[in-house]
Amino acid sequence: MAARMDPVKPAEVLVATGNSHHRDPARRDRSQRDGDQRQSVPGEAIVGTGRISAARMVKPVLPTLPFTKSQLATLDDALVRASRSASLHFGIYLGDLGADTRGRAEVLHDSMGKWADHAVLVAVSPGQRVVEVVTGGKAARRLPDRECKLAVDSMVSSFKVGDLAGGLAAGLRMLSDHTDS
């Protein structure tokens, strides 16, 4: 035999009323009728308690880019000039290189595909304070290690004064100028 259960009626509970003077529905209605409430703007609603419920568009905060448009144009020009004058492919990587900075820079260099053998990659990780110059097999024969070190030293001195784009452009110029023909 099944027991018959009476449905339980929920008790009325006051959850949120806003200000205490709005507990009286007559007063709430009167305040809205009398026009002493301010007009809502798009995205806002005045609820029955007199509170304002608002929806706002939140724009995502974009990461700050390291270069301005003019700096990007300067870097692009420096890459093109260095590549043309040295007859090598120059590239720049800017970002975290992980724990094995040299290994990661070499992987990035290898990702240059068919140009890797004739390529020079300047990998810079500002957060780690690391600069790696990786040269392909044929590029290494034309660009001595000593010249790479001088270019890195020049870039680092510019980086220390906050000139990332200028340091990269100057480093590319030095690398291309010291490439043996």
Domain with 141 in it: what CATH number?
Answer: 3.10.310.50
CA distances from 28 to 35, 55, 141 (A): 11, 23, 86
Measuring CA to CA, which residue among 126, 122, 164 is closest to residue 147? Answer: 122
Rounded CA separation 120/87 (Å): 11
How is residue 34 written in tokens? 């009398």
Same domain, 87 and 167: yes
Model confidence at 127: pLDDT above 80? yes
* Shared-domain flag, residues 45 and 78: no
Residues 82 and 135 in one domain: yes
- Residue 29: which domain range? 20-54
Residues 47 and 84 reside in one and the same domain: no
- Per-residue pLDDT tens over the stretch 133-179: 999 999 999 999 999 999 999 999 999 999 999 999 999 999 999 99
Single-letter residue type at 76: D
What are the residues facing 130 on neighbouring strands?
125
Residue with tokens 């020049």: 154
What's the structural domain count of the chain?
Answer: 2
Q: Is the pTM for the entire model greater than 0.85?
A: no
pLDDT of residue 62: 66
Q: How many CA atoms lie within 13 A of 77 on its CB side?
A: 9
- What are the φ and ψ backbone dihedral angles of 107, each rounded to 5 degrees? -65, -45
Give domain status of residue 147, yes or no: yes
How far apart, in Å, are the Cα atoms of 45 and each of 16, 53, 124, 132?
17, 5, 51, 57
Q: What is the DSSP string of 45-72?
A: EE-TTS-EEE-------PPPPSS-HHHH
Is the confidence at residue 44, as pLDDT, over 90? Answer: no
Q: CB atoms < 10 A from the CB of 93, how many? A: 17
* 39 and 110 assigned to the same domain: no
Nearest to 121 by CA among 152, 81, 93, 158: 93
Cα 134 vs. chain centroid, distance in angstroms? 25
Mean pLDDT of the chain: 82
